[in-house]
Structure 1
Amino acid sequence: MSTLTTSRANASATTSSRPVRRPVHRSWKHLVQPVVALTAVVTLLGVPFYLVIITAGKSQEEAFDPNLVPPTNWQLFENFGQVFTQGNMAPAFFGSLLIMVPAVVGVLLLGAMASWVLARRSSRVMAIVYALAISGIVLPPAVVTVVLLLRQIGLAGTAVGMIGVYMGMYLSTVIFFVTGFVRTIPVELEEAARVDGVGPFGVFFRIIFPLLGPTLATATILICLYIWNDVFYALFVVGGRLDTLPLNLYEVASAGLYLQNWHLIFAYIILMSLPLLITFVVMQRKIISGITSGAVK
């Protein structure tokens, strides 16, 4: 008994004499990567934003040569008022809405329906159709051919023609986003609805479409960004017949109203970007969940 007690005492003494391991602190080398990443983000994004804001708040003389020096006297809201009244932003704003809203709604609806069909069919023909459907992401549309086709069918220079062009351009983006997400939705949900006597349209609008909210939110903000800032295709299709915000900025700058008036140009850019910025802030949670949903499920 005494021998057992002695051995236990020796074991406990040996254990207590061992040095206690302390948590190893991360060296400075592990901090280099996040510091470099944050510095790059601030440089690439923060500096341009800062330049736009301070230039929009300057007077014409101070903004003649854009730089990073803050304005002597801020006149940001005065420049906003001058841009809004003299630049005819209100008609251009409603022109952009007239084209963007129907185009986004139409491409989301048609793209979601096509994605549902493509996701639930596993034949070789459907694989080829899917490859052709998403090929529009990497194949740019031929502008000359599009304009000539619109002239042949009488839609050149109309809002309907511009809406059709945008829907055709960005349908591939929606199909690419939504098809992968639909494949993660259990088929048993649709089968249970069919057992209850629900038709194909009912299954899509009652079961599938409500589950596509995060993914459609991501596609919405991307397509809105493309359409809202587009000047190239709008210039060839509806240029001179319907005003959008980018077209209006291009026209007034070319006409000399904003020539060398960088404070007004940057003020116009800020006002033009506000609707999309507000949309992103409101929908940011759904956008982030839509981007990561394919990896989580």
Structure 2
Amino acid sequence: MTAVVSYKRHKNLWVRFVQPVVVIALCVIAVGIPLWLALITSAKSQGEANLPDLSLPTSWHIVDNYVQAFTDGEVWRGLLGSLLVMVPSVIGVILFGSLAAWILARRSSRWASVLYAAAISGLILPPAVVTIVLLLRQLGLASSPAGMIFVYMGMYMSIVIFFITGFVRTIPIELEEAARIDGAKPLKIFFTIILPLLRPVIATATILVCLYIWNDVFYSFFVLGGGSTTTLQLNLFQIASSNLYQNNWNLIFAYVVISSLPLLIVFIFAQRRIISGITGGAVK
């Protein structure tokens, strides 16, 4: 009996005190230190930034570094390019993904199960970059925003279908049957009944897809490389590889902070929607 009481006491001590301290320490190591390093390095002089550490700068160059990174790095050009490919990609993948998820969720046949498995296979199967680039060249879409939009839509369609299909299955089918009795067509049922009910999971999918597209540099390098359109992350890679930012780690980190701010702010205010959308649909 004494051993059981001692075990419960140690377990409560672990849950109440030790476990939160361990979680906070891991968060500080995984997130806090890299974030602090980026912020501090972006405020240092070139000489100090070339030897990055966690110490404060001896002289602060915040305004000079950020102004130079903004102007020389052509942040406005990269921002417009990111929005040019991200906004249509997100709208397209959410619209077509929602329609596909609605149809797949309302079908219980073997073929529907096969199609659903094929639709979400993109979650584990990586895109074939070489094949994509060759196909875009054949279609005349290489190095163009339209080609990048189609690539992003194809890449993240599986995520949207996976999230929304589970959520649609929680919506009573009687709502659709009542609309059909009133003479409503399938598209009208979807846009007037189903789509408004999907707002929580659509918000989750939208935020996640925006984060993926905003931070992507790998696929944009192969698809947009050599064209006139660039994104923030691709532009950072290009200027960091050129002589413009060579050994200027203070400017590189300043650019990183500038390019991370928009979606970081969105993520902070929308993290509750992400969690509610995941728990409300994807795991059901």
TM-score, length-scaled by structure 1: 0.88
1:28 CA displacement: 3.2
1:32 CA displacement: 1.8
What is residue 17 of structure 1 aligned with on the other side?
none
SS in 1 for 2:120: helix
1:146 CA displacement: 0.8
Structure 1 residue 223 and structure 2 residue 202: aligned?
Answer: no
Runs (5+) with no aligned partner, structure 2: 1-7
Structure 1 residue 44 and structure 2 residue 30: aligned?
Answer: yes
Pair 185,81 (structure 1): closer, same or farther in 2 beyond 3 Å: same
1:282 CA displacement: 3.5
Counterpart pick for 2:144 among 136, 139, 158 = 158
Separation in 2, partners of 1:64, 1:233: 29
Q: Deviations along 1:234-265, whole A, 9 cap, x unmatched? A: 11111121211111111111111111111111
What is residue 13 of structure 2 aligned with on the other side?
28
Q: For the pair shown, which has the larger CA radius of gyration, 1 or 2?
A: 1
1:70-109 equivalence runs, <5 A:
70-109=56-95
What is residue 239 of structure 1 aligned with on the other side?
225
Separation in 2, partners of 1:29, 1:285: 27
What is residue 259 of structure 2 aligned with on the other side?
272
2:38 maps to amino acid? V
Separation in 1, partners of 2:14, 2:75: 51
What is residue 241 of structure 2 aligned with on the other side?
254
1:80 CA displacement: 1.2
| Identical positions, percent | 60
2:247 maps to amino acid? Q
What is residue 182 of structure 2 aligned with on the other side?
196
Q: Deviations along 1:136-188, whole A, 9 cap, x unmatched? A: 11111111111111111111111111100110111011001110110011111
Q: Which runs of 4+ in 1 moved over 6 A?
A: none
Q: Deviations along 1:91-137, whole A, 9 cap, x unmatched? A: 11101110010001100100000000000000000000000000011
Q: Deviations along 1:5-25, whole A, 9 cap, x unmatched? A: xxxxxxxxxxxxxxxxxxx97
What is residue 123 of structure 2 aligned with on the other side?
137
TM-score, length-scaled by structure 2: 0.92
Runs (5+) with no aligned partner, structure 1: 1-23
What is residue 192 of structure 2 aligned with on the other side?
206
1:28 maps to amino acid? L
1:262 maps to amino acid? W
Separation in 1, partners of 2:83, 2:283: 35
**RMSD in angstroms over aligned alpha carbons?**
1.7
Moved more, 264-273 or 28-37: 28-37
Separation in 2, partners of 1:217, 1:265: 32
Pair 77,194 (structure 1): closer, same or farther in 2 beyond 3 Å: farther
Separation in 2, partners of 1:65, 1:256: 19
1:61 CA displacement: 1.5
Separation in 2, partners of 1:36, 1:97: 39
Moved more, 286-295 or 197-206: 286-295
Pair 111,282 (structure 1): closer, same or farther in 2 beyond 3 Å: same
What is residue 269 of structure 2 aligned with on the other side?
282
Count, aligned residues? 274
Asked if the contact 1:108/1:174 (under 8 Å) is kept, the reply is yes
2:190 maps to amino acid? F
Asked if the contact 1:213/1:286 (under 8 Å) is kept, the reply is no
Pair 244,296 (structure 1): closer, same or farther in 2 beyond 3 Å: closer
Asked if the contact 2:40/2:54 (under 8 Å) is kept, the reply is yes
